[in-house]
Chains A and B, each alone.
Chain A
Amino acid sequence: MDTTMLFAQFQKKIDQDIKIEPQDWMPDEYRKTLIRQISQHAHSEVVGMLPEGNWITRAPSLRRKAILLAKVQDEAGHGLYLYSAAETLGITRDEMYQQLHSGKAKYSSIFNYPTISWADMGAIGWLVDGAAIMNQVPLSRCSYGPYARAMVRICKEESFHQRQGFEILLTLSKGTKAQRKICQDAINRWWWPSLMMFGPTDNDSPHTAQSMLWKIKRFTNDELRQKFVDVCAEQVKFLGMTLPDKDLKWNEERQHYDFGPINWEEFWNVVKGNGPCNKERLATRVQAWEDGAWVRDAALAYEEKKAVRQYRYDAENENTKMPVS
């Protein structure tokens, strides 16, 4: 069968909304795009644990601490769902770690910003997880089966993340003057980076068209960003706070909120590795990997020892075993 026909069959399946599964034929580019996107997504979940891990020991109550622990554990789980989805495309877990640790693979730039107050836990839940949900819900209908299924599970769990974040901010917003101040401050710092999470504008996003044709993406970056702005502009009213954008205004004609220009220079700067915490985040990951090496080796050595023992035992008992009837 020549590849033109395979390509045609593949696209026909996609057009009919038939999922692509690991063993099915797929174009190399589709495979590569998915490996890149899913592994970056997995890395983002894993690195995403770090800014919040920062506050586990300093959570203001046992309730908040238990919640934050559960949330961070979820992020680890999400990373694992996604790594295993990427592995079905033929890349190994170690290769993906290697790409992350060497700096070759990217993760979401949002995690390169510091978490300097407790209110940041609220803002991350509301805005960062909110933006993630906006991105992820359409991904649960993505054309690649294992990715779509992982996203379904993730989306179910993300909802708790966003709600607990908003609850933190709501509590702070009803608190003392100082609490209201850190609440507004956290919103001010996380708002723009959250908008950047949707990626470059459609004009500067060369892969979008192909990804939409393959139904990896269902909406463009700008469409999702607009949706997010519309939702948040209403939600922020419940907090009695403001979003840090003087151009934010309801546009009756468009039936959407207009919003101010995004600082793309900052975005690309953080992507290139010059954000406030890029080095620290990566160094923490690499150290965790290296510090865990003896555990990985010991577990393998133990397994090998058990296998050898079992082999000897089987060999010795071969003649004395009861016949299986």
Chain B
Amino acid sequence: MLTLIRKYFYGDYGEIENGAPPAPPSREWPLWEVFIRSKQGLDHKHVGSLHATDAAMAIENARDVYTRRMEGVSIWVVESRHIHASNPDEAEALYDPANDKIYRHPTFYQLPDELKYM
């Protein structure tokens, strides 16, 4: 089981474990993460992953796998090994600086109800 969980996959935090992911042990096609812009004006959103040998193939495969019903107007793909993510075990420390600053929210300020347009 240990060997299984050493593999790098999306959301894994390769950097923390020191450097680039190891070369794939098999002749498996590399894994790519797919991001789709569902309509003009919206952000690209992660939808899943797939295997392809290069970016062009990844985009074509993403079209077939993730946009069979016009779910997108634009596709981004990035090889999974290039994704770096924050470590969930350190979430508390990482987000600590924002934790006690409720004055950053508009509701922090008590103003008269009669005050309009604010």
Tell me the A residues contacting B by CB distance below 8 Å. 21-25, 28, 31-32, 70, 73-74, 77, 80-81, 84-85, 87-94, 146, 149-150, 153, 157, 296-297, 299-300, 302-303, 306
Once the chains are docked, how many angstroms separate the CA of A89 from the CA of B11? Answer: 11
Candidates B7, B11, B57, B68; contact of A23 at CB < 8 Å:
B11
Residues from chain B with Cβ under 8 Å of A70 in the complex: 68
CB distance from B21 to the nearest CB of A (A): 13
Tell me the B residues contacting A by CB distance below 8 Å. 1, 4-7, 9-13, 26-29, 31, 47-51, 53-54, 57, 64-65, 68-69, 85, 87-89
Q: Of B29, B48, B57, which is in contact with the most chain A CB atoms at under 10 Å from its CB?
A: B48
Say yes or no: A93-B28 contact (C-beta < 8 A), given A302-B53, A303-B53: yes
Once the chains are docked, how many angstroms separate the CA of A296 from the CA of B52? Answer: 10
A299 touches B88 (CB 8 A): no
Residues from chain B with Cβ under 8 Å of A31 in the complex: 1, 5
A74 touches B68 (CB 8 A): yes
A90 touches B5 (CB 8 A): yes
What would be 30 A-B contacts, judged by CB atoms less than 8 Å apart? A22-B12, A23-B11, A23-B13, A23-B87, A24-B88, A25-B89, A73-B68, A77-B64, A80-B65, A81-B48, A84-B48, A84-B49, A87-B31, A87-B49, A88-B9, A88-B10, A90-B4, A90-B6, A92-B7, A92-B28, A146-B48, A150-B48, A153-B47, A157-B68, A157-B69, A297-B27, A299-B57, A300-B27, A300-B29, A303-B54
Residues from chain B with Cβ under 8 Å of A73 in the complex: 64, 68
Residues from chain B with Cβ under 8 Å of A299 in the complex: 29, 53, 57
Residues from chain A with Cβ under 8 Å of B48 in the complex: 81, 84-85, 146, 149-150
Top-8 shortest CB links A-B = A303-B53, A90-B4, A299-B53, A84-B49, A90-B5, A22-B11, A23-B11, A94-B28
